[in-house]
């Protein structure tokens, strides 16, 4: 029997079977320990907005006999990341909205209503706080601690930034920060506790601000900033993007998100509200920059550096070939060229398969003459492969600013609504110098995409400056392999795809054992996840986690401290 198998990712990982409450266990809505209606009513008196009762994204299409008129809007907006981010029950990848019960039946709400005819809650949280202020979050956190609730934090990092299911849990209580939209620009920002003469041209973003909103805001002051890039700009700017590392096409020039965060405000499981930076609670500031999201507390705001808006160069490339050996040669040379590109200031995105290689690289504050000079060797190399059946073309364009480029290329478009699973790998300078042929073959076989978002400035920063995986400081490019599936795909077919992905993960791990992966764009099946996601920083991050989360409220799959819990993350082991 064919079913939607978004749930299968959880089943296979052993994450989807709820535990019974008991000593050291968290309470979920199917248990007698769950708060009563009167207790939730008491919480309602402590928050500024009505409590939210999240529903799966497709819920408006049920009952199937008489779906509401809103079903049309669901169908039209299904792939729109900003539409999805406006609802507390919608996940970017809908597979994380579904759940398999112990008896093998599926609890889900599918866009294709003919599959089951019913809409189930799945893994979508059942009730929570629509946070608009610090006090709202504190009330939600205190309530969760009081009743020992399974808590999830949804900051709505829509885009490509949560593929481990960290924003959903069956029968859970949610703190939803999407509506915390305050943006404050300061040309002379002084961190708390810092000397008065230590100033930054900075912007402070509330916990629910998304990157399209942040870019719009700083552009009004003639500034740019390092941030996430996706169609529609729906990625959250102050949540998991930063906590996972936060990369950008501008990173080779300006560094990663963690390198540009100046100050962070956070609420702990004790309810305490802290403003952390290099001068106060510096250990927590260190951990929050790359140590994983929803792990140490709930971030209410982040202050980032901004930079003067400068002209931008774009270099576009596409090659086609039916000669697989020539394509492997081309991809291998591109990998080998990554240090030169990133050190020159180029960053960007591309994809490949056995017949096509394409990418778009951008570089801020570079003249057209320099852009041509720094790409000419690659252009010439690609042209030299014409006798082997490789046809290629390039384009060089100039934009007044990064913002103009972003608005034109990424200002609109879709970035969600697809069942997805993939694995990533951060390729080091050593790897692209010595393993480029073998890695090229592996990437072509999985039709990989790649993000040139490291190297350059990223490699120049002390690996100990933030909790970020030190592998980033040697990396020059991130590569991604994965798969998607249609609703109705059988569990057998999905299992075959997962087995194939596992094989690819092992191949890349064996080729690049020291290179790590990007926490926000990875798989539940990464090998040795502590080392792969956090490297040598894991033990320090865990001690900081234990210090600032004494109630052990914040736990996410394969996050720091999750190794102290059972597979379902409901009971401490």
Instruction: Give tens-digit pLDDT for 511-536.
Output: 999 999 999 999 999 999 999 999 99
Residue 474 — φ and ψ, nearest 5°? -110, -10
Q: What is the DSSP annotation of 462-508?
A: -TTSSSS-GGGGTEEEEEEEEEEE-TT--HHHHHHHHHHHHHHHHHH
Residue 550 has pLDDT above 70, yes or no: yes
On whether the CB atoms of residues 374 and 513 are closer than 8 A, the answer is: no
Instruction: Give tens-digit pLDDT for 29-63.
Output: 999 999 999 999 999 999 999 999 999 999 999 98
Residue 349 has pLDDT above 90, yes or no: yes
Cis? peptide before 346, omega within 30° of 0: no
Helix 37-44 with 134-146: angle, nearest 10 deg: 160
Most confident of 19-33, 109-123, 187-201: 187-201
How far CA 241 is from CA of 162, 251, 479, 531, in Å, comes to: 9, 14, 17, 20
Nearest Cα residue to 217 out of 256, 188, 184: 184
- The arithmetic mean of pLDDT across residues 493-517, rounded, is 96
Name the percent of the chain lying above pLDDT 90. Answer: 84
Question: SS3 of 451, please?
Answer: strand
Q: What's this model's pTM, rounded to 2 decimal places?
A: 0.95
How buried is 37 (Cβ within 10 angstroms: 0-12 exposed, 13-18 middle, 19+ buried)? exposed
Residue 158 has pLDDT above 60, yes or no: no
Instruction: Give tens-digit pLDDT for 86-103.
Output: 999 999 889 999 887 777
On whether the CB atoms of residues 328 and 356 are closer than 8 A, the answer is: no
How far CA 570 is from CA of 19, 72, 108, 464, 546, in Å, comes to: 6, 37, 21, 33, 17
The greatest distance separating any two alpha carbons of the chain, rounded to the nearest whole angstrom, comes to: 77
H or E stretch covering 100: strand 99-100
Residue 157 has pLDDT above 80, yes or no: no
Mean of pLDDT over the chain: 92
Beta bridge partners of 351: 358, 449
pLDDT of residue 340: 98
pLDDT of residue 155: 60
Residue 467 has pLDDT above 90, yes or no: yes
How far is the first Cα of the chain from the last one, in angstroms, to the nearest whole number? 36
Domains of the chain: 37-176 (3.30.43.10), 183-309 (3.30.465.10), 312-395+417-527 (3.40.462.20)
Name the percent of the chain lying above pLDDT 70. Answer: 94
**What HEC string does 217-268 produce?**
HHHCCCEECCCCCCHHHCCECCCHHHHCCCCCCCHHHHCCHHHHEEEEEEEC
Residue 360 — φ and ψ, nearest 5°? -130, 120
Q: For residues 435 and 256, give the distance between their C-alpha atoms in angstroms, rounded to a whole number.
A: 25
Question: SS3 of 386, please?
Answer: helix
- The arithmetic mean of pLDDT across residues 189-213, rounded, is 97
How buried is 354 (Cβ within 10 angstroms: 0-12 exposed, 13-18 middle, 19+ buried)? middle
CA dihedral for 77, 83, 85, 89, sign (positive or negative): negative
Tokens 């690659």 — which residue? 378
């Amino acid at each position: 029997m064919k079913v939607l198998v978004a749930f299968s990712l959880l089943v296979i990982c052993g994450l989807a079977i709820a535990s019974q409450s008991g000593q050291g266990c968290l309470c979920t809505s199917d248990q007698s320990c769950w708060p009563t209606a009167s207790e939730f009513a008491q919480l309602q008196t402590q928050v500024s907005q009505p409590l939210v009762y999240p529903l799966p994204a497709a819920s408006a299409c049920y009952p199937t006999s008489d779906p509401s008129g809103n079903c049309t809007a669901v169908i039209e907006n299904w792939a729109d990341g900003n539409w999805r981010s406006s609802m507390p029950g919608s996940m970017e990848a809908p597979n994380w909205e579904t759940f398999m019960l112990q008896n093998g039946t599926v609890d889900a709400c599918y866009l294709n209503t003919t599959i089951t005819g019913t809409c189930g809650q799945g893994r979508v949280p059942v009730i929570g706080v629509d946070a608009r202020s610090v006090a709202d979050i504190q009330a939600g956190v205190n309530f969760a601690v009081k009743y020992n609730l399974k808590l999830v934090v949804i900051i709505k990092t829509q885009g490509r930034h949560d593929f481990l299911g960290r924003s959903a849990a069956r029968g859970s209580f949610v703190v939803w920060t999407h509506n915390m939209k305050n943006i404050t620009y300061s040309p002379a920002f002084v961190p708390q506790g810092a000397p008065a003469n230590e100033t930054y041209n900075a912007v402070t973003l509330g916990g629910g601000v998304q990157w399209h909103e942040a870019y719009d805001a700083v552009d009004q002051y003639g500034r740019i900033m390092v941030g996430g890039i996706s169609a529609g700009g729906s990625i959250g700017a102050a949540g998991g993007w930063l906590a996972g590392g936060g990369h950008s096409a501008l990173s080779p020039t300006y560094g990663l998100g963690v390198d540009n965060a100046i100050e962070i405000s956070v609420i702990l499981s004790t309810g305490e509200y802290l403003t952390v930076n290099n001068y106060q609670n510096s250990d927590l500031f260190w951990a929050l920059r790359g140590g994983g999201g929803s792990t140490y507390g709930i971030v209410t705001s982040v202050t980032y550096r901004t930079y003067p808006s400068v002209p931008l160069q774009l270099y576009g490339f596409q090659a086609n070939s039916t000669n697989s050996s020539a394509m492997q040669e081309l991809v291998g040379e591109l990998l080998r060229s990554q240090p030169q590109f990133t050190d020159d200031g180029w960053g960007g995105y591309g994809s490949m398969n056995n017949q096509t290689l394409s990418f778009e690289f951008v570089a801020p504050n570079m003249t057209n003459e320099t852009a041509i000079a720094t790409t000419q060797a690659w252009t010439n190399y690609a042209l030299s492969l014409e006798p082997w059946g490789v046809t290629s073309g390039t384009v060089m364009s100039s934009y007044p600013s990064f913002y103009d480029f972003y608005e034109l290329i990424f200002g609109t478009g879709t970035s969600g609504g697809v069942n997805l699973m993939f694995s990533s790998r951060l390729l080091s300078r050593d790897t692209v110098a010595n393993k480029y042929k073998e890695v090229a073959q592996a990437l072509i076989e999985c039709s990989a995409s790649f993000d040139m978002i490291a190297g350059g400035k990223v490699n120049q920063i002390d690996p100990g400056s933030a909790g970020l995986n030190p592998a980033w400081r040697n990396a020059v490019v991130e590569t991604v392999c994965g798969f998607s599936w249609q609703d109705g795909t059988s569990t057998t077919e999905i299992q075959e795809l997962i087995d194939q992905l596992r094989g690819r993960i092992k191949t890349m791990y064996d080729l690049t054992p020291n290179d790590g992966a990007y926490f926000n764009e990875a798989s539940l099946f990464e090998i040795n996840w502590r080392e792969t996601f956090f490297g040598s920083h894991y033990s320090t991050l865990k001690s900081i986690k234990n210090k600032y989360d004494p109630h052990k409220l914040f736990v996410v799959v394969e996050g720091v401290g999750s190794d102290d819990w059972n597979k379902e993350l409901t009971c401490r082991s």
